[in-house]
Amino acid sequence: MRRVLVITIVAAMCLIAAPAAFATTETAQAGNVTATFTFQGKFPDYTGQTLEIAQGGTVFYDEPVVSNFCGELCAPGITGKSAVEVVDVEHTGQPDVVLDLYSGGAHCCTIVQIFSFDPGTMTYVKTERNFGDPGVRISDLRHNGRFEFVTADDSFAYEFTDYAGSALPLEILSFSNRHFTNVTDSYPRLVAKEAALYLKFFKEDASTHYQDSVGLAAAWAADEERLGHGSLVKTFLAQQASQGHLNSALYPQQSGQRFVAKLLRFLRTHGYIR
């Protein structure tokens, strides 16, 4: 009886201690700001996600991690690195906390939460954005200590063809005053480099009569319109339509000139044609 009792007590203690054994803690620090992201479980089942932010050892934020974009709970970002980092993305001299989350699902979705310190309330205020399937990386593109969010325009996915055939034009955002601003126009060399690559791929597909070329053509046109080359876009698309090179496997009824008309309306609606 005593042996059975001892085994029962040990087993109960293991069950009580089990959640802590599977807890994962990720920590990031810059200046006097330290962020600690804690969660339990593994993909796709996570529980107990919390974020704590401290300055000089004093905790100013300690809350469960929730998002408007993925229901009750998001998974830690599956990017092969820590989901939390501390970096001054607002260029104020006060480090911000950036948390990468993942909503799961087909072609979805990278969620970024930025926590900015508010001296008025003496806590951190959350701003979040859904970057969709393209994801995002934080990069100092000009090597001047100012960071940008480099991503792609997810609105092009499925718009003209299936996802595999879709191409997504470059999108670069800055973050300040708790707002994202599209600053892609400030990086014409990067846009031109991408446009040249999309054109190269499009011509390769056209040479083999590949019947799903409109995704590349759409992204190329978006980049060229951003560069102010509207006349070039219209001339080139008209030529390709007449040669039978603008085809969609998903929407065969929207090939050729019908695709061109739809694309130009789409680019105007989304601000590429100004």
- Domains in the chain, number: 2
Same domain, 168 and 240: no
Distance CA 7, CA 5 (A): 5
Domain assignment of residue 239, yes or no: yes
Confidence of residue 176 (pLDDT cuts 50, 70, 90): very high
Supply the pLDDT for residue 18.
42
Supply the pLDDT for residue 74.
79
Supply the pLDDT for residue 9.
31
What percent of the chain lies above the pLDDT cut of 90?
Answer: 68
Whether the predicted pLDDT of 3 surpasses 60: no
Same domain, 116 and 194: no
* 3-state DSSP assignment of residue 264: helix
Domain boundary among 145, 165, 187: 187
Same domain, 125 and 237: no
Domain assignment of residue 98, yes or no: yes
Distance CA 60, CA 84 (A): 17
Same domain, 153 and 177: yes
Mean pLDDT of the chain: 88
Whether the predicted pLDDT of 108 surpasses 80: no
Confidence of residue 52 (pLDDT cuts 50, 70, 90): very high
Same domain, 164 and 265: no
Same domain, 165 and 45: yes
> 198 vs 12, 165, 220, 222, CA distance in Å?
61, 12, 6, 11
Whether the predicted pLDDT of 266 surpasses 90: yes
Interval 221-236: pLDDT, tens: 999 999 999 999 999 9
Whether the predicted pLDDT of 240 surpasses 70: yes
Whether the predicted pLDDT of 71 surpasses 70: no
Confidence of residue 59 (pLDDT cuts 50, 70, 90): very high
Supply the pLDDT for residue 214.
95
The residue assigned the tokens 């991690």 is 65
Domain boundary among 187, 211, 226: 187
Among the listed residues 180, 159, 156, the one whose alpha carbon sits nearest the alpha carbon of residue 167: 156
Interval 25-35: pLDDT, tens: 999 999 999 99
Supply the pLDDT for residue 117.
96
Supply the pLDDT for residue 58.
96
Whether the predicted pLDDT of 237 surpasses 90: yes
Domain assignment of residue 230, yes or no: yes
Distance CA 85, CA 34 (A): 9
Distance CA 82, CA 138 (A): 13
Lowest-confidence pick of 7-11, 87-91, 165-169: 7-11
Domain assignment of residue 183, yes or no: yes
Boundaries of domain holding 90: 23-187
pTM summary value: 0.85
Confidence of residue 80 (pLDDT cuts 50, 70, 90): low
